[in-house]
Amino acid sequence: MRFSRILSNAVLLMVLGASLDRCLPQSIPVATQQMQLTAFSAITPTSTGLGQGRNLTVTAGADIAFVGLRRVRSVVEIRGTYPIAAGNVDRQKSLVAGPVIECGVGRFRPYADFLLGKGAITYLSGGYVFGGKKYISSSTVVYSPGVGLDYSITHHFALKGDLQYQRWEVPVAVSGHINSTVLSLGGKYMFDFNPHHNRSR
């Protein structure tokens, strides 16, 4: 798929760029980690885009961040969502991944992303009737551009706010797709594999 190739090329370019940075001896201060791993989780109220569909979802994921410019980092992210309450219209779950660009301003780290992956929809209340046919479930590619903000509380912990606008290809809409709005509120943990660097700052 064309979008899949574009995403794969973008991730590859970010990784190559990070590798080139590491090859330049003066491009990264000695006291800075060249890569950072973070994990996050959040509660995610979702407007599914199908009728009055609402989901309450748990979101969890991980980031690998590459040191870039002084305030800007490239990140590769993977995240999954699973509904814990789904109302009576539809239940959406997904697994997506892709590139993220973030910048640092004090304790704040705003970012933008474009994630791509697979999603599954279960149509509730006995199924969803469209075009004279009843649908019980469907699977689809999910396109998920978004923005967010992390706020550092300590060296390891941060609060997280995130908004994704997702496009799902479905057989139950005239347009052939629905758009869901996904708001996540939670926290993240930053792993530190070079603790002695922090004491030297």
Give residues with Cβ within 8 angstroms of 201, minimum separation 6: 31
Give residue 24's pLDDT.
39
pLDDT digits (tens, 9 = 90+) for 122-172: 999 999 999 999 999 999 999 999 999 999 999 899 999 999 999 999 999
Give residue 36's pLDDT.
87
Q: How distant is the alpha carbon of residue 165 from its chain centre?
A: 11
pTM above 0.85, yes or no: no
| Domains of the chain, earliest start first | 2-190 (2.40.160.20)
Token digits for 69? 């410019």
Give residue 109's pLDDT.
94
Q: Answer whether residue 4 shows pLDDT above 70.
A: no
Rg (alpha carbons) of the chain, rounded to whole number: 19
Q: Answer whether residue 65 shows pLDDT above 70.
A: yes
Token digits for 8? 């794969």
Instruction: For the chain, give the mean pLDDT.
Output: 84
pLDDT digits (tens, 9 = 90+) for 68-95: 666 888 999 999 999 999 999 999 999 9
Q: Answer whether residue 99 shows pLDDT above 60.
A: yes
